Amino acid sequence: MQGQSLVVYTISHAGNDSYIQQWVFNDDGSIQPMLGVTGRLDANQISNSSTGRPLGVGNARYATSRFHTAYWRLNFDLGGSFNDLVEQFDYSGTGNIRTQTVSPLFNESSRTVSPVSQRFWRVKDTLMTNANGRNISYQIVLQQAAVHRGSEAFTRSDVIVTTNKVCEQFVSRNPNSGGCGADVTEFANGETVSDVVVWVGNTWHQVTRDEDEPYVPVHWQGMSLLPRDLMATSPLQ
């Protein structure tokens, strides 16, 4: 079955890199925020065999491996601004049996991915239900092949839940006039969440290949927002 998608994108440039900010809205209700990275390798980033990969013939030149970490600010309004709730799902156990634990995040907080517990998050409307009587929601599906825990405090979390505030717009270097926080770690200060905003981080660890010279092919990173109980039956009918 051939579906349809609406693709909205913009392109920006920084140094030798070009970034494609893209949103894909699919007819099954799923949404894919993505970042495409391309450009030229920095000739000044000369490294060695312990911190990079060789370029060209032989081992005379090395390009430094580096991280591209992007954050999305997702302001959820499912059925209205003030009835949404973030839930964290974790699974524990051994063998073929797993026990599910669902933790509601009533207060602003920061979380990390946990592949060992098959962790994921969803944002649900606490009042609106589908025809089966289940709360409508969207599940956040991360594309997480790598994580980056850098010197900046905001890199130590992958998902941050906050209350929507006009002055809290940027994950880092946020204008802090009027008492607003300078980065997302200052936004998440434990207050009760009323209008849900979820900040989602995603990292690509760029380890250079010969195919990256002279131009790096576009690499995509991002996530999927999947309807969970938004509809009562499959949209593929």
Task: Name all domains of the chain by residue range, CATH numbers in brackets.
Answer: 5-228 (2.70.98.20)
Span 143-202, pLDDT tens digits: 877 788 888 888 899 999 999 999 999 999 999 888 889 999 999 999 999 999 999 999
Span 3-47, pLDDT tens digits: 899 999 999 999 889 999 999 999 999 999 999 999 988 766 678
Q: Are 67 and 207 a contacting pair, CB within 8 Å?
A: no
Strands, E assignment, the chain? 5-14, 17-26, 31-40, 52-55, 61-64, 66-75, 84-92, 99-105, 109-111, 120-129, 135-142, 159-163, 196-206, 215-228
Write the DSSP string, 48-70. Answer: -TTTEEEESSTTSEEEE-EEEEE
Q: Which position has the higher pLDDT, 3 or 103?
A: 103
Q: What is the pTM of this model?
A: 0.91
